[in-house]
Structure 1
Amino acid sequence: MLIIDKTKMLTYLLLFTLFFSGTACKEDSAGEDIDEPDEVTLSIDQDSYDFSADGGSDKILITSNAKWKLTYESDAFCKPTIQSAIGDADVTINATANETTAARSMVMTLTSEGAEDVAISISQAAGEGEPVDPIEPEGPDYVDPDNTDMRDLTSIQLSQLMGIGWNLGNSMEAINAGSTPPTGSETTWGNPVVTKELIDAVKAAGFNTIRVPVSWSHMLSDQSTYKIKTEWLQRVEEVANYALDNEMYVVINVHWDGGWMDHPFYSEQDAINEKLAAFWKQIAVYFRDYDDHLLFAGSNEVRNEANYNAPTAEEAEVQNSFNQTFLTTVRATGGRNTYRHLIVQGFNTNIDHTVNELTIPDDETEDRMMVEVHYYDPYNFSLDENAASGKPLWGEPYKDQTGYVDTWGQEDWVEEQFGKMKTNFVDKGYPVLLGEYGALWRDVSGISDPNYPSQSEHDESRKYYLNYVTKAALDNGIIPVYWDNGHTGNNGFALFNRSSTEVSNQSALDGIISAGEE
């Protein structure tokens, strides 16, 4: 019996049609002539597909007059039945069942020489997966409470010893979130490998606390169970020990990590809490024997990724559940974690959202909890990278330079915002970690406006800002931890050159450290 391969037949017919369509001709890699159109066309009927957790199939209608190819990651959960062909075609894409408890996504790319690439977004709902067993008393991961070397200090008392802090930003949390699964290393975002010499320099400069933002999703040996690679736990430990060996305080967290927590909705609440519990179970057990110089912070700037507005009731409730999951999971590991000082976050670590929406988690251990917020006000001075719209000056000394100083977010605003945190949390026994704050450094040398502030004016204004914010935090019982992303150039936050470990911005450093000496 003659069996006809419909796919091959379609290809042959398309080749025959193109041959007589007035196209140009060139040789392929094998030296044979193939037809090539004068102008390549390439399009699809839709550019996004959603699959249920059970998987399934769908069709992509490709319209083209040339050779094309579909490319995707080798381990992608969705693949086409035909990877390459010529001309118009209906291509079936097939998604495997999602056996994990996390939603997943990928991008398939349609390419053809002479045409713009076409991206096809594919997503899939979370599956039920294998449940992560909670740590129960007397279970294999539980040990009896142990307060050895855990000083009899409340979190308020500990906060008074932590001094001024510094962020090891854009290193241990560097992640390529767009790949499936995520990839990356501590050098992915351009910073060099962290060295003991760098942390020694930070200590020598006058800092007593280091916050180490960490991503974990790109360092899993099993994506379905969220098993963290032992070598990554060891590397995070090595970096933490650089600071602990200097008798500094260290905060490690689950940072942005690709944004998987930025969906505080009832529909995703269980899956996110399961992944968060799986991470903190492993982190807490691994670091359980460290004393109270090591603190854990549950998350970072968790918000609805679609906007920066105040949370809805749903978003606030779900984000509060993340804090409870973190705290319950860590405490359940026992040992010194029974007494460890833990840090929970307000919604998007925004001061107003924290005051209005944060619910303090239930904790059987008394006086061992802190609250974290961040501060980058006013945006046009601290974060706006556009010199034209940004405001290069800040504060009372520069108030007369209209147009270059914001009309809000000045000294009175700092006092008001930090005062809210003192009244609502510090005075109630919950010290506040100002986990991030700062203002980018602007290179104003290229600004053509003759009235634009000089470099020295900006530098002095920035020093004044950093000094004022740091001192106001300390005065309100808040632990200030400056955000350093390692970038020393224009619009950077770096205080240190991470390669040479030398101070790269003495003016800014002096502004911060001097606040603790006043």
Structure 2
Amino acid sequence: MHQNNRVVSLIFLFLLLGMEWACKSSEEEPSKLDVSSTRIELEADGESKEVSISSNTAWSAHASANWINMTPSSGTGSQTVSIAALANTTPDSREAVVQIVAGSLQREIQVSQAAGKSHPSYYIPADQTEMREISSLELAPELGIGWNLGNSLEAIGGETAWGNPAVTKELIDAVKAAGFSAVRIPVAWSKFTDESSFTIDPAWAERVEEVVNYVLDNDLYAIINIHWDGGWMQPTYVAEDAVNARLEAMWVQIALHFRDYDDHLLFAGTNEVMVDGDYGQPTPEYRTVQNGYNQTFVNAVRGTGGRNAYRHLVVQSFNTNIDHAVDFMEMPVDEVKDRLMAEVHYYDPYEFALDADSPVSEWGANADNPSKTAGWGGEAYATGQFKKMKSHFVDKGIPVIVGEYGAISKTNLEDHAVYRAYYLEWITQAMLDQSLVPFYWDNGHTGNHGFGLFDRNNGEQVYPDLIDKITPSIN
């Protein structure tokens, strides 16, 4: 009995000594604090990265700059911390320090962030005033059926150099009354006060603005572009650098001049860019350079800020060809979401719609003389082409403008007028059926081989029957 008590006492003593040793060991164990990285680099747009903290005690994190956030900012023991930076909107890179403190221990993490986007001197902050929260796909139906003010402001040598009178508000009033909802205004901007810097003559910019206001004052949409303009926009590697410099310089000036206009004014970057005389399939060089011109245009406009940060922009396929659009067109990268439209043109079949020397005078299912038809390009073909644009673009959120289409008059061929009326009615409706936006090409010439619908001297309708075919819902 006594011996057993002695054993129990000894065991109890050893337990007490063990507990005392364990407590002393715990008290004497030094604090530990380590971090998995002592330096991190973050992108300008607000990137975050994780850092592991290894500790056997409580710790807290503190940043030397208010553009850094830590989650969590304190804890006990080992843990992962997310270090995030707000977007850097300054043109300079920046650095800060995140300090991790655990008792008397400290560790530092150097944080650097890349420079934000630098803006040119003419840039002003984005301004969405009167720029509705509406995507280009939602805007497109509002354009309705459009009309082209052709062979006027894009005429080389001056507004009246290609046979049309100066544009008047009376003419645009007549276009509105005829049922059109939008006007595409082709412009040749190469009227310089300083050709070496591509400085556009202010008087010319003001004249273009005057015509734009004729359109907007009629509650119509307006699209302005850089048209053929002498053909300086060749899509070759040899011309690429010079064209990009000129394109950027000119679009910056245009965008600045019209920066305060609301979203009823759209910009279109180019027109029918191709290598002179080469109507074949574009080479990789041609299409790469042409796609690059679209990107230069978008960058130049967005870089002016203000309302142009939200403006709806129109970019074209190579030579505005539908097949080239489907096969080769790459939409530009845009910092603004859903504010781009694609543009193609349609003049098929060429022999009927555009070739003044062709004896082809009939088109469509009602054509009864094979010798007077093109033998291709009928209703089924047109439907197939328009369906391509719908499936490749519209159905993917990119609206499509058919910026030019039509059929010339052939008053020298007695049966052409009937088929021309049918063509314009059918083609217009076929485009609308595929959610495309048609813009009839009017060059002002109302005689043989012309596209004109109005007398540009007074705005009177020369072909009211054709206008009825194009805008049937209004007339």
Cross-structure match for 2:58: none
2:136 maps to 1:155: yes
Separation of aligned partners in 2, 1:243 and 1:311: 36
Quote the offset at 1:393 in angstroms: 1.2
- Aligned partner of 2:166 among 185, 190, 193: 193
Question: Residue 137 and residue 250 in structure 1: after superposition, are their counterparts in 2 closer, same or farther (change >3 A)?
Answer: farther
Deviations 1:199-224 (A, max 9, x none): 0000000000000000011x100000
Separation of aligned partners in 1, 2:223 and 2:211: 11
Structural mapping, 1:83-482, within 5 Å: 137-175=118-156, 184-217=157-190, 219-261=191-233, 263-386=234-357, 389-398=358-367, 400-444=368-412, 455=414, 457-482=415-440
Quote the offset at 1:507 in angstroms: 2.1
Deviations 1:434-482 (A, max 9, x none): 00000001112xx6xxxxxxx3x42221111001111111111111000
Separation of aligned partners in 2, 1:406 and 1:507: 24
Cross-structure match for 1:75: none
Deviations 1:3-51 (A, max 9, x none): xxxxxxxxxxxxxxxxxxxxxxxxxxxxxxxxxxxxxxxxxxxxxxxxx
CA contact (8 A) 2:266 2:313 kept: yes
Separation of aligned partners in 2, 1:139 and 1:360: 24
Deviations 1:251-296 (A, max 9, x none): 00000000000x2111111100000000000000110000000000
Separation of aligned partners in 1, 2:430 and 2:247: 34
Deviations 1:146-169 (A, max 9, x none): 000111111011001110000000
CA contact (8 A) 1:460 1:507 kept: no
State the secondary structure of the residue aligned to 2:132: coil
CA contact (8 A) 1:345 1:373 kept: yes
One-letter amino acid of the counterpart of residue 159, structure 1: A
Q: After TM superposition, what 4+ stretches of structure 1 lie above 3 angstroms from structure 2? A: 136-139
Quote the offset at 1:137 in angstroms: 4.5
Range with bigger deviation, 268-277 or 498-507: 498-507
Separation of aligned partners in 2, 1:355 and 1:224: 37
Quote the offset at 1:390 in angstroms: 2.8
Q: TM-score, normalised by structure 2?
A: 0.74
CA contact (8 A) 2:148 2:439 kept: yes
Separation of aligned partners in 2, 1:418 and 1:503: 29
Separation of aligned partners in 2, 1:201 and 1:372: 26
- Structure 2 gap segments, 5+ residues each: 1-116
Quote the offset at 1:372 in angstroms: 0.4
2:466 maps to 1:513: no
CA contact (8 A) 1:459 1:507 kept: no
State the secondary structure of the residue aligned to 2:250: helix
Separation of aligned partners in 1, 2:293 and 2:435: 25
- Aligned partner of 1:484 among 421, 442, 467: 442
One-letter amino acid of the counterpart of residue 189, structure 2: W
Deviations 1:49-69 (A, max 9, x none): xxxxxxxxxxxxxxxxxxxxx
Deviations 1:383-412 (A, max 9, x none): 1111xx3311111112x2221122110000
One-letter amino acid of the counterpart of residue 249, structure 1: Y
One-letter amino acid of the counterpart of residue 141, structure 1: Y
Quote the offset at 1:140 in angstroms: 2.1
Give percent identity, aligned residues only. Answer: 54
One-letter amino acid of the counterpart of residue 481, structure 1: F
Question: Residue 496 and residue 293 in structure 1: after superposition, are their counterparts in 2 closer, same or farther (change >3 A)?
Answer: same
State the secondary structure of the residue aligned to 1:396: coil
Separation of aligned partners in 1, 2:391 and 2:120: 41
CA contact (8 A) 1:292 1:340 kept: yes
Separation of aligned partners in 1, 2:399 and 2:474: 21
Separation of aligned partners in 2, 1:334 and 1:282: 13
One-letter amino acid of the counterpart of residue 264, structure 1: P
Cross-structure match for 1:131: none
CA contact (8 A) 1:143 1:333 kept: yes
State the secondary structure of the residue aligned to 2:143: coil
Separation of aligned partners in 1, 2:275 and 2:318: 9
Separation of aligned partners in 1, 2:192 and 2:448: 35
One-letter amino acid of the counterpart of residue 156, structure 1: L
Quote the offset at 1:306 in angstroms: 2.8
Quote the offset at 1:429 in angstroms: 0.7
Separation of aligned partners in 1, 2:267 and 2:410: 33
Quote the offset at 1:138 in angstroms: 4.6
One-letter amino acid of the counterpart of residue 350, structure 1: N
Cross-structure match for 1:496: 454
- Structure 1 gap segments, 5+ residues each: 1-135, 176-183, 448-454
Question: Residue 420 and residue 354 in structure 1: after superposition, are their counterparts in 2 closer, same or farther (change >3 A)?
Answer: same
Which has more helix, going by share of residues? Answer: 2
Question: Residue 517 and residue 501 in structure 1: after superposition, are their counterparts in 2 closer, same or farther (change >3 A)?
Answer: closer
CA contact (8 A) 2:179 2:474 kept: no
CA contact (8 A) 2:322 2:345 kept: yes
Separation of aligned partners in 2, 1:437 and 1:209: 14
Cross-structure match for 1:14: none
Range with bigger deviation, 366-375 or 457-466: 457-466
- CA RMSD, aligned part only? 1.2
Separation of aligned partners in 2, 1:139 and 1:376: 41
CA contact (8 A) 2:136 2:338 kept: yes
State the secondary structure of the residue aligned to 1:440: coil
